[in-house]
Chain A
Amino acid sequence: MRLAVERWDPGEDQIEVQRAPEPGVAGGAYRAFGETLRGLKTTFARVIEGVHTIQYPEQKVAVYPRFRGRHKLHRFEDSDLEKCVGCSLCAAACPADCIRVVAAENTPELRISAGERYAAVYEINMSRCIFCGYCEVACPFDAITMGHDYELSDYNRGDLIFTKEMLLAEPLDQTPLRAQGE
C-alpha cells in the first residue's frame, strides 16, 4: 500500500508559478502571431545593445588580477638570485601531483638562490595542472605565483612539461589585465 504524501509546509514562503494557457484551440491561432511578434520585438530590441562578442585571436580577453594562469617563478630584483629554495612545499600541496622539485645545495662558487638550497630541477606538468593555485598559496617565499597567461596549447605533450627556465622567463606576449573597476 502506498502511503499518503506528507508535505512539509513552508507557509507564506511559497508561490505558485503561473500556468500557461492550453496550447492549440483559438488562443493558439492568436499566439502563433501575437506571441511570435512579441518574441521578435524582444529579439530586435537587442540590436541597440551592441555587440557582445569579441574577435578572439586578434583581440584578447583581459583578465582580472586574481586570474590564475600559467605559473611564474621569481627572482629577487636586486641580486638576481632565485627566490625558490627547493623546499617542495608546493609539490606537497599540489592536488594533481604535477610539480617535481629536486633540491641541491648552494655552494660559495655557485650561488643560485638566496637560501641554503635551490631547486636544481623544477618542473610543472601543465597537462596535469588544474590551476587551483595551491602551489602559490603553499609557497612561503612567494617564489611561485600564478601568472595571467591562458594560451597554453601545444602540439606535443612533452612540450607541456614546463622547466624552471621556462617558468622563470617572461612570457612572449603579455595577457592584458583589466583595470580596476572595469
Chain B
Amino acid sequence: MSTKSDYRRMEGSITLAPLSEQIGSQRLSSELLTLNFGPHHPATHGVLRLLVTLDGEIVQDVKPIIGYVHTGIEKTAEDKAYWKVIPVVERMDYLAYYFNALAFCGAVETLLECEVPKRAQYLRVIHLELNRIMSHLVWLGTSALDLGAMSMFWYCFREREQILDLFEMSSGQRMHTRYFQVGGVIEDIPIGFAEKVREFTRIMPGRVDQYNDLLRRNEILLQRLRGTCPLDERTLLELGVTGPLLRAAGNPWDLRKAAPYSSYEDFDFKIPVGTVGDNYDRFAVRIAEMKESVKIIDQALDGLPEGPYITEDRKIALPPRHELATSMEALIHHFKLVTEGFRVPPGEVYYAIESPRGELGCFVRSDGSAKPARVHMRDPSFVNLQATAPMTRGAYIADLIATLAMLDPILGGVDR
C-alpha cells in the first residue's frame, strides 16, 4: 500500500505528457491541462469535484470525485427501529424526500405484506407529484442560472415556495416531512388542503407556459443546449442511467407505468420522451413532465377515496391518539411501538420507484428483529453521474457546465 491516498493516485493516473501534432508545415505543441473543478463551485450543484483534463477548451476526460457530503445514513439506519429510519433516509436526496421515504416504506411494507389503504396511496401520489414538480423547479431554476437566465431562478423559486407551503400545511415541515409512514401516511390532510392544491394546479400549467415562452426558443439557450453532448440510448442503458436522461434519448422507461406502485395505474398521464438525447431533449422532457405531474395531482384529488389514511394493523401503525386515554390495549401497543418498534419477518426486498431523477430503489434486509439488518439505496443521481464523462468527452468546457446542469445530480443522494 503506498502512502498516497486514493485521490492522489487518481490524480496521478492522468497523463500530462505534452501532445505534439503537426498542423500544416508548423509544428505546434500543446499540453493537457488538468483543471480541478469544485468541490465548492456554484455550477457543480452541490459539493461535487470534477477533475477535468482539458486540451485547450476541449474536454478530454472528466473524473467525478464524490464523497464530500457522505453522511453514513445507510449505516445509521441499521441502528434504528424501522419507523425511526424514515426521517433519516429522507435526508439522502434532499430534493426528493417524499420519494426516499416511499422507497423505504414500500420496501418494508412488502416485507410485512401490509396492505396500504387506497386513500393513503392517493395522498402519497399527490405529495409525490408535488415533490416531483418542486424538484424539477429547483433543477430548472439553478440550471437556467448556469446558462445565464437570471429571472428563471426567481420564477421557479416562487412556485417552489407555493409547494413548500403546501407541504408545511399537510405535513408540518417544508422539507424532510416524515409524512409517509409504514402502512400509510401519519395524518390525514387538513381542511382546506385540497382547495389549496387545486389553486396550485390551476396556475401551474400557465406558469410552465411562461417558462417555455422565456426559454424554449431563446437563441442563447438553443445555442447552449441544442445538439450539445448527446449520448445514445444504448450507452445510457449500459451505464444504468434512468429517468429523464434516458427518456430524452427516446426510451420511454418510466416505472410509474412500467411497474406501477401506489395506484399509479389509476391515473392517465403521458410519458414525455425525446428523440436525440442531447441537452435540449433533457431540458424539454423535464419541462413536459411538470405538466404531466399536474394532471396526475388533479386526477388524484378528483378520485380521492374516503377511508383510513393508515393501515389499521395495530402491530404496525400507532393507535389513534384519542384511544390512548381510554383503552389500555391501545396504550400497550403505543408503548411497544414507540420503544421497540414493530418486528419485520426475515427476508430481503428491493423496491423501486420513479424519482425525479430516475429509478430510486431501496434494498432492505431484515433478520426478524425490529431494526433493519441492511438498508441500501440505489440512488439515481449516483448512477447517472457516471454518464458525465461519456457525454462530455470532446465537448467544450462551457458545454460541460450545461451538461452537468441537465444531468441534475443531487450530491446528498450520490454520497448518502
Q: Chain A, 67-102, contact with B by CB distance < 8 Å: what is the 0/1 string?
A: 110000000000000000000010011010000000
In the complex, which range does the number of interface residues on chain B fall in?
A: 35 or more
Assess A95 versus B88: contact at CB under 8 Å? Given A15-B271, A17-B284, A19-B275.
yes
Asked if B222 and A92 sit within 8 Å, CB to CB, the answer is: no
B163-194 interface bits toward A, Cβ cutoff 8 Å, 1 = contact, 0 = none: 00100111111001010000000100011100
Known A66-B169, A133-B178; 11 more pairs at CB < 8 Å? A15-B272, A16-B273, A16-B275, A17-B287, A18-B216, A20-B216, A20-B226, A35-B217, A35-B218, A42-B213, A67-B173
Tell me, rounded to whole Å, the shortest Cβ–Cβ distance linking A10 to chain B: 5
Interface residues of B (CB under 8 A from A): 80, 83-85, 87-88, 91, 151, 155, 158, 161, 165, 168-173, 176, 178, 186, 190-192, 195, 210, 213-219, 222-223, 225-227, 233-234, 237-238, 251-254, 257-258, 269-276, 280-281, 284-285, 287-288, 318, 324, 331, 334-335, 338-339
Distance in angstroms from B396 CB to nearest chain A CB is: 15
Residues on the B chain within 8 Å of A160, using CB: none
**Which of B192, B270, B318 lies in contact with A15, CB distance below 8 A?**
B270
Within the complex, the shortest CB–CB distance from B342 to chain A, in Å, comes to 13
Contact between chains at A5 and B233 (CB < 8 Å): yes
Q: Which listed residue, B258, B275, B318, touches A8 by the CB 8 Å rule?
A: B258
Roughly how many angstroms separate A35 CA and B213 CA in the complex, as a whole number? Answer: 8
Question: Interface residues of A: mostly helix, strand, loop or mixed?
Answer: loop
CB distance from B322 to the nearest CB of A (A): 11
Residue A171 interfacial (CB < 8 Å): no
Look across to chain A and name the residue whose beta carbon is closest to the beta carbon of B80. Answer: A95
* B87–A130 CB distance below 8 A: yes
Interface centre among A15, A52, A95, A180 (most CB of B within 10 A): A95
Are A140 and B273 in contact, CB atoms less than 8 angstroms apart?
no
**Which among B80, B178, B269, B324 has the greatest number of chain A C-beta atoms within 10 A?**
B178
Residues of A within 8 A of B (CB): 2, 5, 7-10, 13-24, 28, 31-32, 35-36, 38-39, 41-43, 46, 52, 63-68, 89, 92-93, 95, 130-134, 137-138, 140, 146, 180-181
**Residue contact B253 to A8, C-beta cutoff 8 Å:** yes
State whether A68 touches B190 (Cβ < 8 A): no
- What chain B residues lie within 8 Å of A20 (beta carbons)? 216-217, 222, 225-226, 280, 284
A13 touches B218 (CB 8 A): no
Complex interface: chain B residues within 8 A of A46 (CB): 155
Query: Do B270 and A13 touch across chains, with their CB atoms under 8 A apart?
Result: yes
